[in-house]
């Protein structure tokens, strides 16, 4: 993947010397639907009369169940491994129902605006460091404090090999960062459709696990909850950090994530259309979903250990990473995920992080930059290099079993 190293280097090297700046007020004005869009304002319960807690993915779920029941998963995964680009025809030999589903699911929604998606590319690239840090470390820790998600990840096949699972999830993070993500030569549409199939397979498999007591997993509500750990959380943090963002960038970033939500199988009427509606829905669905679980605590610990080893093979950066993770998600979520408090690194990161942002935003004179800001910069760069290194050759594959006990 030729673009990989260029893009990776842009993200990793951009900020400190190269002024990545941007983002501003996260709120786009207006609370109504975007033109031609079907998403309602804030509330999920009123959307179309259906409750997202009791809706899953009626198009994908029977297809995934069918290939699982017919024992076709290994063959389907083998064939789909060659299908990587948005414009690429599907390989021959796929089951007819799967082919029909994918041919439909791979299309952008009618309300997607390519010009707006293109407009987001510059923002996504410029803010890449913040975005990857927030998706990966921030969103990753938040997910551990969401019981439905933590348990689903823990008891599904990928729960047994979190390093592999993190790399696969990183593939989506990598693909959405590509400037051509939604264009014919991009990869995001393929990755999103494959992820949709993975989720559909998990809905069929997890209820068969002796450890799973929660009914059918990954409802539309669960999808919304997790979605808010991504763009909603990111924009909240960027705003808090006073990162410069123009209203056009903010709107384009939301559009990227609304289209991605659609591609992942979230129904249009549940996808909020404005930042005001996004933030209201997040309060409604994400805030009450947060709680501590044994599984989430274990996952958070594993993710932090894996990431620390990604930064330094000895894992010696774990205390710094704990402090960073706690700073990103705040004490409430950090306590739910049992991220250790760090008496030395905690206060250092609390003062050093704003200095690091100021450094990246070119708001400070280099001689005045405290040492801790450079330490954070180095750790974040290494974290991102590690995180993105999965994007190259990783295949997202449909699971055919739960976590082996
Ligand atoms: C798999 C992203 C929501 C549970 C995946 C994968 C991606 C992904 C990229 C494929 C990587 C892999 O195979 O490991 C997302 C995004 C979401 C979302 C962007 C929302 C916007 C959810 C929710 C749950 C969930 C709400 C559970 C409540 C899982 C599980 C797997 C998975 C269990 C499969 C792991 C395995 O193979 O065992 N997700 N996900 N995801 N996701 Fe999600």
* Tokens read off for 308: 């620390």
Q: With 90 as the cut, is the pLDDT of residue 39 above it?
A: no
Neighbours of 182 (CB within 10 A): 25
Q: What's the mean pLDDT in 301-327?
A: 94
Neighbours of 237 (CB within 10 A): 19
Confidence of residue 390 (pLDDT cuts 50, 70, 90): low
Q: What's the mean pLDDT in 104-132?
A: 95
Q: With 50 as the cut, is the pLDDT of residue 237 above it?
A: yes
Q: With 80 as the cut, is the pLDDT of residue 6 above it?
A: no
Q: Mutate which of 131, 165, 198, 286 to test ligand 1's pocket (most atoms within 8 Å of Cβ)?
A: 198
User: CA 232, CA 286: separation in Å to the nearest integer?
Assistant: 10
Q: How far is the CA of 380 from the centre of ligand 1 (A)?
A: 24
Task: Identify the CA nearest to 148 among candidates 285, 332, 308.
Answer: 285
Question: Is 0.90 exceeded by the ipTM?
Answer: yes
Percent of the chain with pLDDT over 90: 76
**Three-state DSSP state, 402:** strand
Q: How far is the CA of 278 from the centre of ligand 1 (A)?
A: 21
Confidence of residue 50 (pLDDT cuts 50, 70, 90): confident
Q: Given the CA of residue 217, which atom of ligand 1 is nearest to it?
A: 28
* Tokens read off for 365: 């004179």
Asked whether the CA dihedral 226, 234, 110, 95 is positive or negative, the reply is negative
156 has which bridge partners?
A: 402
User: CA 359, CA 341: separation in Å to the nearest integer?
Assistant: 26
Residue 393 has what pLDDT?
A: 73
Q: Establish whether residue 153 lines the binding site of ligand 1, counting it when its CB lies within 6 angstroms of any ligand atom.
A: yes
User: CA 79, CA 77: separation in Å to the nearest integer?
Assistant: 5
Q: With 80 as the cut, is the pLDDT of residue 291 above it?
A: yes
Per-state percent for the chain, helix, strand, coil, to nearest 5: 65, 0, 35
Contacts of 308 (CB under 8 A, 6+ apart): 315, 316, 317, 318, 321
Q: What's the mean pLDDT in 179-184?
A: 96
Residue 38 has what pLDDT?
A: 41
Query: Which of 1-5, 89-93, 298-302, 390-394 has the least mean pLDDT?
Result: 1-5
Q: Given the CA of residue 159, which atom of ligand 1 is nearest to it?
A: 38
Q: What's the mean pLDDT in 144-170?
A: 90
* Tokens read off for 19: 């002024």
Q: Mutate which of 226, 254, 260, 278 to test ligand 1's pocket (most atoms within 8 Å of Cβ)?
A: 226
Q: With 60 as the cut, is the pLDDT of residue 16 above it?
A: no
Contacts of 401 (CB under 8 A, 6+ apart): 157, 205
223: left (phi > 0), else alpha (psi -120 to 50), else beta? Answer: alpha
């Amino acid at each position: 993947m030729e673009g990989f190293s260029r893009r990776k280097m842009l993200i990793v090297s951009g900020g400190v010397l190269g002024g990545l700046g941007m983002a501003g007020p996260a709120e786009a004005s207006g609370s109504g639907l975007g033109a031609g869009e079907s998403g309602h304002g804030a509330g999920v319960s009123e959307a179309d009369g259906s409750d997202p807690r009791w809706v899953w993915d009626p198009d994908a779920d029977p297809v995934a169940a069918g290939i699982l029941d017919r024992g076709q998963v290994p063959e389907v995964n083998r064939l789909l491994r060659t299908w990587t680009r948005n414009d690429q025809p599907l390989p021959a030999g796929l089951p007819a129902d799967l082919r029909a589903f994918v041919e439909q699911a791979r299309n952008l929604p009618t309300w997607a605006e390519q010009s707006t998606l293109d407009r987001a590319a510059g923002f996504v690239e410029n803010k890449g460091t913040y975005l990857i840090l927030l998706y990966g470390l921030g969103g990753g820790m938040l997910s551990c404090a969401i019981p439905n998600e933590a348990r689903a990840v823990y008891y599904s096949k990928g729960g047994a090999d979190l390093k592999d699972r993190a790399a696969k999830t990183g593939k989506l993070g990598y693909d959405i960062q590509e400037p051509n993500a939604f264009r014919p030569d991009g990869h995001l549409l393929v990755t999103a459709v494959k992820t949709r199939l993975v989720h559909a397979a998990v809905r069929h498999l997890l209820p068969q696990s002796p450890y799973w007591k929660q009914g059918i997993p990954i409802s539309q509500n669960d999808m919304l909850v997790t979605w808010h750990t991504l763009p909603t959380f990111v924009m909240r943090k960027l705003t808090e950090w006073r990162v410069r963002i123009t209203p056009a960038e903010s709107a384009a970033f939301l559009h990227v994530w609304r289209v991605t939500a659609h591609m992942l199988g979230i129904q249009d009427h549940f996808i909020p259309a404005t930042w005001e509606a996004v933030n209201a829905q997040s309060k409604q669905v994400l805030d009450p979903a947060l709680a501590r679980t044994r599984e989430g605590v274990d996952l958070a610990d594993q993710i932090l250990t894996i990431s620390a080893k990604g930064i330094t093979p000895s894992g010696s950066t774990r205390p710094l990473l704990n402090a960073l993770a706690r700073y990103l998600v705040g004490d409430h979520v950090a306590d739910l995920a049992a991220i250790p408090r760090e008496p030395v690194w905690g206060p250092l990161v609390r003062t050093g992080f704003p200095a690091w942002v100021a450094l990246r935003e070119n708001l400070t004179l280099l001689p005045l930059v405290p040492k801790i800001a450079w330490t954070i910069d180095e750790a974040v760069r290494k974290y991102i290099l590690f995180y993105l290194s999965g994007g190259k050759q990783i295949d997202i594959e449909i699971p055919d079993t739960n976590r082996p006990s």
